[in-house]
Structure 1
Amino acid sequence: MQKVYLDNAATTPVREEVIVRMQEALAGCFGNPSSTHGFGRTAKTAIEQARKNIAKYLNAHPSEIIFTSGGTEADNMIIRSAVRDLGIRTIITSKIEHHAVLHTAEEMVKEYGISLHFVDLDPMGNPQMDHLEQLLDSDQTKKLVSLMHINNEIGNAIDIEAISHLCKAKDAYFHSDTVQSIGHYPWDVAQTPIDFMTAAAHKFHGPKGIGFAYIRKNSGLKPLIFGGSQERGYRAGTEPFHNIVGLEEAFLKAYDNLEEERAYVSGLKKYFIEKLEASLPEAKFNGLSGDMDQSTYTLVNVCLPFPEDKALMLLFHLDLKGIACSKGSACQSGSNGSSHVLKEILSEEDMKKPSLRFSFSKFNTREEIDYVVGVLSDFSRN
């Protein structure tokens, strides 16, 4: 049985160079970075070098990079701290954000009594700029806008430049969950007036359990975790040195090879779309995921023309055939509910059909896509 991994939006295989770097760190650099002796200083120096290297590619200041356990912690830290420390009384977001943003915003309503507004979406799932502007102008409260750059389920890419400049013009803070875009798109925070961003290493061939928050200098945020002065005081606790250098290695490899790997993965996505349309012409691509220009090059989300009774067996069948994909965010896999993203953009009829997310990486091949489309085609006939 062939094994095909097309669930890279959930997590990616770790690069060999990253594994080697982490092994070297675990074996030879075990000192506590907060210790003042040579073992500790060696680890601390490497952490600060990683911070500088990451900041360089984002055109940020090293002090603006704060290492976290991943994107979820970074989203929570930013949203919670913004409400507590910056006097945010209104959060504006969308109903198709990652739950790390949605659930945190909802909790802020319960805990602090803030207002929560959702920007209207067009039929394809993109935020309506005119409605966003109306929400920003609706009252004089301090506002935080939180809109993800790349949607993790349908792949839509928002106009982050336009949104960031609109927020700046309206004197609102702008946070973006960029977990699906950092490592896949170039960034220049000096040109894009974004206040807060988040990243997770395992989305660009790094280890799990490590990511970072970009927090613009002099933002006024204060720590949520107390107990030490690590991470500029934002996040107390001994730094996971091996994970940080693993993140750094994955980050540098992603950007050093960005154009080459982007071209290759884009080619895989285009090939998948062409093959699927030829084999299953009634299939529909959800959101803008079938548009090579308006969605990320790393994934497609497709509504397949199978009846409801067959839909129940589809993921199980694909798994038996060695194919890994998903019906939505991996963070929702324990839930019996349908995708909250697709509910916002699909008709009731299409919601009864199976929708699957296939996501690609540099480790995939056209031969694997041939196999997956062949399995889907056979399933449709049986």
Structure 2
Amino acid sequence: MATEAQHTLEQGGDGGGILRLSGPYILSTIGEIEGDLRERDLGIATIDLGEVNEIDTVGAWFACKLARENSAEIVNASERAQRLIDAVGEIDNDSPMAAPRNALLERASEAMGEKVFGAGRGTTNIIGFLGQVLIGIGALIRHPRRFRYRALVHQFESVGVNSLPIIGLMSFLIGIVIAQQGAAQLRFFGAESLTVNLVGRITLRELGVLMTAIMVAGRSGSAFAAQIGTMKLTEEIDAMRTIGISPIEALVIPRIFACVFMIVLLGFYASVMAIVGGAVISDLMLGIPFWTFLMRIQEVVPTYDVWVGMIKAPVFGLIIGIAGCYQGMQVHGNSEEVGKRTTNAVVQAIFTVIVLDAFFAVFFTGVGWA
């Protein structure tokens, strides 16, 4: 019995060649002959397997491949060889494979239904989460010794103190851009001196707090979701419940309080840095002295502009804290959920902050604080 795969090529009577395979055509013996046959132009019409004494799935696939590439017919296959050839022949084809698709209207309706039900579940979950937070705050009011002051101070540092460099630099540059671009447009009307009004009002009323909220959402809101989500995956939150510690009181409430309080200070700090940036560029490009710019701010910016920004700030902080903590508490299953929920926390917080800022703008204009 042959121990190596062999082949012979004969000329057939009708002009087509006959390829006779012999020996074992199995995974361990087919390598060399497969390479040899691939490099040659066979021009065959028939593949004879009569002398193949052993064959496996790889050998059957090889025979089917040769037959398909040369438009040849396989003959004299044993019962086992024929069974394997039939099996691999059914799956080894180049026809396109695609899952059946429903009609466009049906798919659109199904997707819309999933979105609606998803929104309903999300609304129910967020209402339940807010209820848990309110219950936790009530429990801390009744038992103030349970409040975790150290955790709150740590979050003050994480949300506020550690954010000062990036928020300060961002606000300083925004002040420069507003002053430079505003002056470039006001120059056409001979009103470059109104750059002070532009920088002061837009930063104290709108951009200072809004840009701070966006930065805090991207920096701290994502951190809240990732930290709590990781604790959820590692079952630390379940362990806290087991030993009688409320995760809402220990993890969520300090983070929300830190966001609400620190974003007020950060928003005012950002506005001041933006004004300083505007004063610097005005001194260098517009001929308005630095200190004159700052003194003019006190004259041209109404006090209620400061209050508008300070009123919006804690609301934005509350939204960011709740979004980050809620998404973190929703993590389950695997680590991929952490990334997904972190992204959701940032997107939802920023979207909600911008929508609320638009409502605040309309509201304060309506009450005469325009």
Given the two structures, how large is their TM-score scaled by the length of structure 2?
Answer: 0.23
Q: 1 or 2, which has the higher strand percentage?
A: 1
Q: 1 or 2, which has the higher helix percentage?
A: 2
Given the two structures, how large is their TM-score scaled by the length of structure 1?
Answer: 0.22
Structure number with higher relative contact order (C-alpha < 8 Å, ≥ 6 residues apart): 1
